[in-house]
Amino acid sequence: MLNSGTIRWNHVLGRAFIYLMLGAFALYYLIPLFVMVVTSLKPLDEIRSGNLLSLPMQPTFEAWGIAWNSACTGVQCNGLQGYFYNSMIMVIPAMLISTLLGAMNGYVLTKWKFPGSNVVFSMLLVGCFIPFQVILLPMAKVLGMVGLAGSLPGLVMVHVIYGLAFTTLFFRNYYITIPDELINAARIDGASFWTTFFKIILPLSTPIIVVSTIWQFTQIWNDFLFGVIYSSGEQQPITVALNNLVNTSTGVKRYNVDMAGAIIAALPTLFVYVVAGKYFVRGLTAGSVKG
């Protein structure tokens, strides 16, 4: 009796320890978010008198208004608003075009293979691995030549081109699991290339379309490297504007505005993560294990 009692007691202790550790890790991930939120709601004097974790005594959305409407991002002082829209205008076409092209590529690479199609795929896959620094200078030159330097359409083009390797990989790995018999049967019935694609393949593709669009949305929204190099002035995406806002060194440092700005920049991707986390994680593992 005593013995089994000790064992049970040990078991309870063990479980409690596991939950304690898991809770500690959860705090580790949540505290920075908590700090961001409370800081953004405090007036500046409370930030100076309190500490990171102290709750706002007079919560105010003033810093949010400033971050959105009037904070300085370099020379301009119109807040993040315009840059938020810039990011939207850039993300949506780039995400849709690269996903559509990826779907068509994946379809050809699995169901309409021809001599050399695998070579094209291998050539494209290199794009998943290279550090983008190695294409930055030539790309800047090309964007200048076609008159898209410093503009949002130029950024859309860059994101489509360098997102294509990932979207193609997603769709190719997904379509490879669709049995060829399905396509062959349709072909015998006289269905054309495009009929098969639109009538058979696309209706089966919903999950992978979700994975690909979410992946592209997050990647492109969060991008800073291409944004900081290939855009300028009023055409910058929000990540670049946020970085400018935080590092604009005129006047008093307003940490509450910085935090409100950071949350604004994070909201769209956080929203996508909360709504469609499962697909996000799937893209993450598929996109980074890289086939």
Partner 1 sequence: MVTKWLERIMPRLVLAPTFVIALVFIHGFILLNAWLSFSSSNLMPKYDWAGFIQYERLFANERTAVAATNLFIFATLFILICLFLGLLMAILLDQRIRGEGVIRTIYLYPMALSFIVTGTAWKWILNPGLGFEKLMHDIGFETFQFDWLVNSEMAIYTVVIAGVWQSSGFVMALFLAGLRGIDESIIKAAQIDGASLPTIYRKIIIPGMRPVFFSAFIILAHIAIKSFDLVMALTGGGPGYSSDLPATFMYTFAFTRGQIGIGAASAMMMLMTVMAVIVPYLYSELRSQRHA
- 206 belongs to the binding site for partner 1 (CB under 8 A): no
Does 47 participate in binding partner 1 (rule CB under 8 A)?
yes
DSSP symbol at 178: S
Q: How far is the CB of 167 from partner 1 (least distance, A)?
A: 10
d(CA 104, CA 123): 17
Q: At what angle do helices 255-289 and 238-247 cross, to 10 degrees?
A: 140
Question: Which two tokens mark 33?
Answer: 């978010």
> Tokens for 67?
């971050």
How many residues bind partner 1 (CB under 8 A)? The answer is 89
Q: Is 141 in the site for partner 1 (CB under 8 A)?
A: yes
Among 128, 127, 143, CA closest to 229: 143
Residue 45 within binding range of partner 1, rule CB under 8 A? no
Does 258 interact with partner 1 (rule: CB under 8 A)?
yes
**33 alpha-carbon distance from chain centroid:** 18
According to CB under 8 A, which one of 12, 22, 202, 204 is a site residue for partner 1?
22
Verify binding: residue 255, partner 1, rule CB under 8 A. Answer: yes
Distances (CA, A) of 4 to 1, 75, 242: 5, 73, 60
CA distance linking residue 244 with residue 110, whole number of Å: 45
Q: How far is the CB of 178 from partner 1 (least distance, A)?
A: 16
Question: Does residue 186 bind partner 1 (CB under 8 A)?
Answer: no
One residue of 96, 100, 148, 161 binding partner 1 per CB under 8 A: 161
Q: Alpha-carbon distance 30 to 32, whole Å? A: 6
Q: Is the Cβ–Cβ distance between 231 and 155 less than 8 Å?
A: yes
Among 29, 145, 147, 181, binds partner 1 (CB under 8 A): 29
Cα separation, 39 vs 60, in Å, equals 10
Stretch binding partner 1 (CB under 8 A), from 72-80, 145-153, 175-183, 223-231: 223-231
Decide whether 12 or 22 has the Cβ nearer to partner 1: 22
Which span sits near partner 1 by CB under 8 A: 25-33, 67-75, 78-86, 198-206?
25-33
Cβ atoms 103, 202 nearer than 8 A: yes
275 counts as binding partner 1 under rule CB under 8 A: no
User: What's the min distance (Å) between Cβ of 168 and partner 1?
Assistant: 7
Distance in Å, CB of 10 to partner 1, minimum: 12
Minimum CB separation of residue 97 from partner 1 in Å reads: 11
